[in-house]
């Protein structure tokens, strides 16, 4: 029986960037509505078992109110902490329970923690956070259908998923943490507020994804070169007053010009030194690690990151193989065949 996990972060979409920038607040009631549509999509795809992360708001429980569905839905049982430890534990437990797919609701930070919990279960990330480079801006019904097609095996992992790269933080030669989109070196020596928004404090940026159509640090690199999620390369940008100007949207409603001194393309396994220390590393938009004075630290590109559902490929495969339209699978479709088919199925 196929099993799908749901990890919905009740804290995503509410950080300090609502005060220092112009980000919208993504409230939990909207997450409830998204989960409701996800559940209906999963059931339509043939999924019969759901396990979800419990949270203080009760997102999934509220989504189930007045919803008539036949799936077996139950919470994961563990002692919650109401912080990111719950997300990591839920991801670990879903892997242990043999989950076939995990749907996440959150931003880059949420998905980073899920990836730390498991890289072996396909993730379908739905955007409900601030930095939304990793997750999809997608209708919940489609997310449920795509995740369900992967979970039930109607679309194989080979056909409908890809392995993302990620950035490994190395300290004294040992891996200590990861980032799924960006790792940023901040000249601050205290973590303080976790979110990063002041560009004058940034000295280095490492990106394993970049696009001019995204927001945040990845857009800075994206103005110079686009890197897709599965591309086996990353960018290292060194900022400084002697560089060339790059204008990019670094936060909701905020477009700034930064000075980029050097641009370096990194290959898989390549390590680049963190030049400034002491410093703080921000991983996927949030300050996480203090690098002490004299400590040797590097960033390394790895190609064994999280397994991610490619929604477009999954749904295209379903169309080509008539998975959701089986009656039209016996002969090639033409406009005439389609018209005849609909004509033949009209009620007398």
Could you write out the DSSP letters of every residue in 261-299? EEEEEE-TT-EEE--S-SEEEEETTEEEEEEPTT--EEE
Q: Is there a contact between 202 and 186 (Cβ–Cβ < 8 Å)?
A: yes
Q: What is the mean pLDDT of each run of 10 residues along the chain (348 residues)?
A: 95 60 76 97 98 97 94 97 95 98 95 96 90 89 98 98 97 95 86 66 95 93 94 96 94 91 97 93 91 94 96 97 85 60 50
CATH number, span 166-302: 2.60.200
Neighbouring residues of 212: CB distance < 8 A, sequence distance ≥ 6: 219, 222, 223, 226, 248
Determine the pLDDT at residue 285: 85
Determine the pLDDT at residue 52: 98
CATH number, span 3-164+306-328: 3.40.50.10330
The 3-state DSSP class for residue 109 equals helix
Determine the pLDDT at residue 336: 63
Query: What's the per-residue H, E or C state across 34-99?
Result: HHHHHHHHHHHHCCCEEEECCCCCCHHHHHHCCCCCCCEEEECCCCCCCCHHHHHHHHHHHHHCCC
Sequence spans of domains, the chain = 3-164+306-328, 166-302
């Amino acid at each position: 029986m196929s099993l799908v996990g749901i990890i919905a972060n009740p804290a995503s979409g509410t950080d300090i960037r609502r005060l220092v920038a112009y980000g919208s607040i993504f409230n939990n009631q909207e997450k409830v509505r998204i989960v409701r549509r996800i559940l209906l999509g999963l059931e339509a795809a043939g999924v019969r078992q759901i396990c979800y992360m419990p949270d203080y708001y009760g997102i999934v429980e509220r989504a189930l109110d007045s919803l008539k569905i036949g799936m077996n839905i139950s919470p994961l049982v563990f002692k919650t902490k109401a912080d990111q430890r719950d997300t990591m534990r839920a991801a670990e437990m879903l892997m242990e329970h043999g989950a076939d797919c995990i749907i996440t609701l959150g931003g880059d930070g949420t998905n980073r923690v899920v990836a730390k919990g498991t890289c072996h279960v396909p993730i379908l990330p739905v955007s409900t956070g601030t930095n939304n480079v990793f997750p999809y801006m997608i209708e919940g019904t489609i997310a449920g259908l795509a995740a369900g097609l992967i979970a039930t095996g109607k679309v194989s992992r080979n056909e409908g998923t890809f392995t993302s790269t990620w950035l490994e933080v190395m300290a004294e030669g040992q891996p200590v943490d990861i980032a799924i989109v960006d790792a940023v070196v901040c000249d601050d020596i205290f973590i303080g507020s976790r979110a990063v928004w002041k560009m004058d404090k940034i000295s280095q940026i490492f990106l394993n994804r970049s696009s001019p159509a995204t927001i945040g640090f990845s857009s800075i690199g994206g103005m110079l070169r686009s890197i897709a999620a599965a591309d086996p390369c990353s960018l290292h940008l060194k900022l400084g007053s002697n560089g060339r100007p790059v204008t990019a949207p670094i936060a909701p409603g905020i477009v700034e010009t930064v000075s980029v001194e050097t641009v370096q393309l990194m290959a898989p396994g390549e390590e680049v030194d963190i030049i400034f220390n002491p410093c703080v590393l921000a991983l996927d938009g949030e300050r996480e690690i203090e690098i002490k004075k004299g400590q040797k630290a590097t960033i390394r590109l790895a190609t064994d990151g999280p397994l991610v559902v490619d929604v477009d490929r999954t749904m295209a495969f379903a169309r080509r193989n008539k998975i959701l339209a089986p009656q039209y699978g016996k002969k090639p479709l033409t406009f005439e065949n389609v018209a005849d088919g609909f004509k033949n199925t009209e009620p007398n």
